[in-house]
Amino acid sequence: MTMLVVANWKMHGTRTMAETLLESIAKPAADVVNAGGTVVICPPFTLIDRLAQGFGNAAFGWGGQDCHVNTQGAHTGDVAAAMLKDCGAGWVILGHSERRADHAETNAGIATKVKAAHGAGLRIILCVGETLAERESGNAEAIVLSQLAAAYQPYVDAVAYEPVWAIGTGKVAQITDIEAMHRSIRGAIAPSTQVLYGGSVKAANAKEILATHGVDGVLVGGASLQQNEFNAILHAALSQQI
């Protein structure tokens, strides 16, 4: 099975820090790619152009963490999908729960972004996931399937299941819950779309998560900024591929 490993740097990263980190993970990333997998780094917008040029021959794919629905215009502070493409990105993360929370993104708005990103030729990672209250009230699956129904298109490359309560908290979903949710998601999407897990993925749990039935890769936040942690995650992905 070929794995997709995505690093979501969020609002972290300066030029020096980024280059040092990427040099230290280039070899294990290349090993994953040579074995048929994919490694996508999603730095802040400010770094994509420089990193895509500087590490152009390396194994990394590059992604944005969001894009605007329009191709251009009077939208101060926003970045269009075609601009991401122009500076070297091939991918974009859409519908991340932090954007849903911080920027009041709705399923309908995310659906429009999905179409805009596709129109610009970007590959799309669509994030879905329930809050703790939604899980505790037994609505996790219904919420995730409704997020998919609103925004998923068959050309989406990956759906990332990220329980909101597991992001950045150190709490990871039970393996049985991950497996069950991935099965539900799989039933609602095209065979070519990969299903990733995200939420406190780290060196200590990556192997077990990546070995879980229905998990085609991981979306990694905090641990993707730490060389040793991300190296171990890449090794875990490689061991699933060989």
Please tell me whether residue 90 binds ligand PGA under the rule CB under 6 A.
no
Please tell me whether residue 130 binds ligand PGA under the rule CB under 6 A.
no
Please tell me whether residue 200 binds ligand PGA under the rule CB under 6 A.
yes
Q: Please identify which of the residues 105, 134, 162, 229 carries the catalytic annotation.
A: 162
Binding segment toward ligand PGA, per CB under 6 A, in 71-79, 99-107, 129-137, 198-206: 198-206
Binding segment toward ligand PGA, per CB under 6 A, in 13-21, 25-33, 136-144, 194-202: 194-202
Please tell me whether residue 221 binds ligand PGA under the rule CB under 6 A.
yes
Please tell me whether residue 159 binds ligand PGA under the rule CB under 6 A.
no
CB closer to ligand PGA, 79 vs 223: 223
Please tell me whether residue 124 binds ligand PGA under the rule CB under 6 A.
no
Q: If you write DSSP's letter for every residue of the chain in order, what string do you get? A: ---EEEEE--S---HHHHHHHHHHHHHHHHHHHHTT-EEEEE--HHHHHHHHHHTTTSSEEEEES--BSSSSSS-TT--BHHHHHHTT--EEEES-HHHHHHS---HHHHHHHHHHHHHTT-EEEEEE---HHHHHTT-HHHHHHHHHHHH--TT--EEEE--GGGTTTS----HHHHHHHHHHHHTTS-TTSEEEEESS--HHHHHHHHTSTT--EEEESGGGGSHHHHHHHHHHHHHHH-
Active site residue 68: no
CB closer to ligand PGA, 168 vs 214: 168
Please tell me whether residue 168 binds ligand PGA under the rule CB under 6 A.
yes
Point out which residues bind ligand PGA (CB under 6 A): 8, 162, 167-168, 198-201, 219-223
